[in-house]
Amino acid sequence: MRRVVLLTGQSLGAVRASVDLATALQPAMVVLEDVDLVAMDRSHVPTNAVLFELLNAMDGLDEDHYLLFVLTTNRPDLLEPALAARPGRIDQAVHLPLPDAAGRERLLELYGEGLELRLEQPQELVAELQGTSPAFIRELLRRAALAAAEQSDDAPLHVTDERLRTALAELRTAGGELTQTLLGAG
pLDDT tens per residue, range 9-68: 777 778 888 888 988 898 899 898 888 888 877 776 667 778 888 887 887 655 567 888
- Rounded Cα gap, residues 166 and 172, in angstroms: 10
φ/ψ of residue 114, rounded to 5: 90, -10
- Rounded Cα gap, residues 148 and 150, in angstroms: 5
Class at the top of the CATH hierarchy for domain 101-183:
mainly alpha
Q: What is the DSSP string of 64-84?
A: T--EEEEE--S-GGGB-HHHH
Domain residue ranges in the chain: 3-85, 101-183
Do 3-85 and 101-183 show the same overall fold?
Answer: no
pLDDT tens per residue, range 64-110: 678 888 999 888 888 888 887 777 788 888 998 999 999 999 999 99
Beta strands in 22-114 (DSSP E): 28-32, 67-71
Please tell me the CATH code under which domain 3-85 is placed: 3.40.50.300
Put the strands of the sheet holding 67-71 in their side by side order.
3-7, 28-32, 67-71
Q: pTM for the complete prediction? A: 0.69
